[in-house]
Structure 1
Amino acid sequence: MTKRLILMLVACALVFGGIFAYKMVGDHFMNQFFDNMPAPTATVTATTVSTHPWREQQTTIGSFAAINETQLTTEANGIVDDIFFDNATPVKKGQRLLTLDASVDQAELRRLESVAELAQLEMRRYQRLYRDKNVSESELKRKESEAKQANAAVDSQQARIAQKSLTAPFDGIIGIRKVSLGQLIAPGSVVATLTSVNPIHLNFTLPEQQLSTLQDGQTVSATITARPEQTFTGTVTAISPVVTQSSRSVDIQATFDNPDAILRSGMFARVSLDQGEETQNVLLAPQTAIQFNPYGNAVFVIQEQDDALTVQQRFVQTGARRGDMIVIEDGLESGDRIVTSGLLKLRNGSNVKISDNPRVQPSEDLDPNVVNQ
């Protein structure tokens, strides 16, 4: 019995030992295969680092605002008698826009004019009687006062009639009317909105740290989503004397010529302010080429070895950014070729293939314009 047990244990040890040995040999050769297996070639995009003219700029966002914009309202109540403007059309200062029915007021004016005329005749008659010593001075003064009161009543009625006629307070473009012929409107009822268009203001804010670089007359550039291909130029005309405590920013206002009325009140704008002189020999690289890390920024430089392209990671010192580009202050030289996309699948010594498809090449625009689709 003991002999059989010993033989069974030896047989089990041989079987399981063979299994473990086979597993160890297989893992060894598998690991050796994967360690020696060549890395696959990664397809990337690339660009050559070069120098470009550079001007320091401060970028922000803002909104256009009309220099004059008002809701046109009536001072008196009445029925709309006539409308003299079309929707969304230019109007001139002093142009009549709307009248209310004033037939009753006109009749009252004629009555008051008759009373004033009679008061004038009475006053002149009493003046003659006073010169002939037939009336006292107090009676003459009373007639002169009555004549003045009658004239004042006429002036008051004329002003009341004028309140029933609406005129443009300044040149501009009138909006969509909100009243109709025959409509009874109350004092303060909005007739339409009048907006001046040329020139136009651009309001934006900058951090208080930029105050030392701001001055009246400074050139401002702006782009709008409605015309992404066009850049508009204006000048700084007002800098707020107060810094907002909550945001530590200062309000700036620039003025733009707008003869074609392309810029409209309320439009969103991307704003750029030039600061300083142009600087030559500044190395620029696409921001997509930079690996931004807590321990330092890096790029992958493309090198040619044995008719193959490989990459080598190199740390760089970066500077100001604008659009799609970033200034390289140290770590690269003009003419270096760097990877601009596909960085996550790379490591030192990786083989790469440069894509020739222009559609996958990242943008390298200093002033990109995003068009909403």
Structure 2
Amino acid sequence: MRPSTRLAPRSLSCLYGFLLFLVVVSTGASAQERTAVIGTEVTVSQWSDPLEALGTLRADESVTISATVTAVVREVNFGDGDEVEAGDLLVQLEDGEEQAQLRSTQALRDERANAVSRATQLQSRNLGSRADVEDSQAQLRQVEAEIDEIRARIMEHRLRAPFDGVVGFRDISPGSLVTPGDELTTLDKLDVVKLDFRVPEGFLSTLERGQSIRATAAAYEDQTFEGEVTSIGTRIDPTTRSVQVRAEIENPERLLRPGMLMITTLERQVRDALVVPESVLIPRGERQYVLVIDTEDDNRVEQREIEIGERREGQVEILEGVDEGELLISHGVQRVRDGDQVELLGIANDENGIRDILERHRDDRDDA
């Protein structure tokens, strides 16, 4: 198959800007001695050393609702995917036998309570012994314990939501016979999700709670989810030589689901750093240089050696060699030498793009 040569819109835009820049520079060079350039300022911004890993999502709380007794389903009070609150009755099992036992035992309790009352009155008149009173009281306590036991069995017939969450599929109907361990539905708390991923043990010293993470999922390619590290494993896996890390991500719209695979970027060693576009760099062997514009000396250029740190898409961290606010040449670098005086067409930043600068300069020349 013949490879495609179609350029992405962003690439076409960059190519258009570069060609336009060459036209403007060529026109400017023929009209005057100074070379036209575009500058950029050295700025301070938040920087970090990203570490990528694959992670799997888990619900903040997750449970399988199952029966603990053998009984027939009487009521099902939820539908597929319903949101429920803690304490909501999800499934009611038949408990007629237990209810009958409860009424019988309650009647027996009333009888035992009356017996205690009679024995106490007889003792107060010296017509009964203290032992008879104590025996009657013991029998009453016994029947009260039986009532508590029956009520506990009745509660086993009422399956309630242990926390706020979203139920799964409903696979049972009234009249179904369930036995202990039968899965009736699932319940997940999804307003917050947990993301588990593994990091090589060599990075253990750079991990700490509270670190920021960014994650993306195949289902939402254009969306980035942010969270923070909440816990770090206490053991290193001897097979993979990695440690498990857990982060939490807010999920108010319920977009993320347990089991999803996410590409996770962990922001390590967050700091304020001097940042410039990669286009300012002039590599020579293992050394890096930039061209600094001295606006107080009529835009004279000084070539200066710098020390760079980490890189990220389109940007580079500068450790030494320049200061915040200094003006560097970002476009036109190859046409300028140390000591030259240049024509500054504009300063590129987030609000003033290269294409805007070049088109504005071309319009000014046309008007002139």
When the two structures are superposed, what TM-score results if normalisation uses the length of structure 2?
A: 0.64
Change (3 A) 1:252 1:328: closer
Q: Deviations over 1:159-195 (max 9, x none)?
A: 1111100000011100012322101111221110101
How far, CA to CA, are the matches of 1:63 and 1:232 in structure 2? 14
Give the superposition deviation at 1:326: 9.9
How far, CA to CA, are the matches of 1:283 and 1:322 in structure 2? 9
Give the superposition deviation at 1:319: 9.1
Q: 2:251 aligns with which of 258, 271, 276?
A: 258
Give the superposition deviation at 1:66: 0.9
Q: Deviations over 1:177-222 (max 9, x none)?
A: 2322101111221110101101111111111121222211111111
Give the superposition deviation at 1:104: 1.6
Q: Deviations over 1:239-277 (max 9, x none)?
A: 112222211111111111111111111111111122343
Instruction: Check if 1:232 corresponds to 2:225.
Output: yes
Give the superposition deviation at 1:100: 0.7
Instruction: Check if 1:134 corresponds to 2:127.
Output: yes
Match of 1:92 in 2: 85
Change (3 A) 1:173 1:284: farther
Change (3 A) 1:247 1:321: farther
Give the superposition deviation at 1:281: 3.1
User: SS state of the match for residue 278, structure 2?
Assistant: strand
Larger Rg: 1
Match of 1:217 in 2: 210
Instruction: Check if 1:184 corresponds to 2:172.
Output: no
Tell me if structure 1 keeps the 8 A contact 2:62–2:186: yes
User: SS state of the match for residue 191, structure 2?
Assistant: coil
- Of 172-181 and 92-101, the range deviating more from structure 2: 172-181
Change (3 A) 1:284 1:64: farther
Tell me if structure 2 keeps the 8 A contact 1:200–1:255: yes
Match of 2:276 in 1: 281
User: SS state of the match for residue 234, structure 1?
Assistant: strand
How far, CA to CA, are the matches of 2:216 and 2:224 in structure 1? 5
Q: Deviations over 1:32-67 (max 9, x none)?
A: xxxxxxxxxxx998978x999874311111011112
How far, CA to CA, are the matches of 1:184 and 1:80 in structure 2? 6
Letter in 2 for 1:242: R
Once the two structures are superposed, the pairs formed by residues 235-314 of structure 1 within 5 Å of their partners are 235-275=228-268, 276-277=270-271, 278-281=273-276, 283=278
Tell me if structure 2 keeps the 8 A contact 1:283–1:328: no
Tell me if structure 1 keeps the 8 A contact 2:195–2:246: yes
Match of 2:140 in 1: 147
Q: Which runs of 5+ in 2 are unaligned?
A: 19-38, 286-307, 319-328, 334-368
User: SS state of the match for residue 147, structure 2?
Assistant: helix
Give the superposition deviation at 1:71: 0.5
How far, CA to CA, are the matches of 1:92 and 1:212 in structure 2? 41
Q: Which runs of 5+ in 1 are unaligned?
A: 1-42, 286-295, 297-317, 338-373
Match of 1:118 in 2: 111
Letter in 1 for 2:246: Q
Instruction: Check if 1:203 corresponds to 2:193.
Output: no
When the two structures are superposed, what TM-score results if normalisation uses the length of structure 1?
A: 0.63
Match of 2:149 in 1: 156
Q: Deviations over 1:109-154 (max 9, x none)?
A: 1111111100100111001111112122222111111111111111
Change (3 A) 1:44 1:149: closer
How far, CA to CA, are the matches of 1:78 and 1:284 in structure 2? 73
How far, CA to CA, are the matches of 2:137 and 2:278 in structure 1? 89
Letter in 1 for 2:278: L
Once the two structures are superposed, the pairs formed by residues 34-53 of structure 1 within 5 Å of their partners are none
Identity %: 29
Match of 1:172 in 2: 165
Letter in 2 for 1:223: T
User: SS state of the match for residue 130, structure 1?
Assistant: helix
How far, CA to CA, are the matches of 2:172 and 2:255 in structure 1? 27
Match of 1:34 in 2: none
How far, CA to CA, are the matches of 1:246 and 1:321 in structure 2? 32
Give the superposition deviation at 1:279: 4.5
Change (3 A) 1:124 1:77: same
Letter in 1 for 2:88: Q
Letter in 2 for 1:265: P
Total equivalences in the alignment: 261
User: SS state of the match for residue 145, structure 2?
Assistant: helix
User: SS state of the match for residue 190, structure 2?
Assistant: coil
How far, CA to CA, are the matches of 2:190 and 2:279 in structure 1? 39
Letter in 2 for 1:149: Q
Tell me if structure 1 keeps the 8 A contact 2:275–2:315: no
User: SS state of the match for residue 257, structure 2?
Assistant: coil
How far, CA to CA, are the matches of 1:173 and 1:107 in structure 2? 35
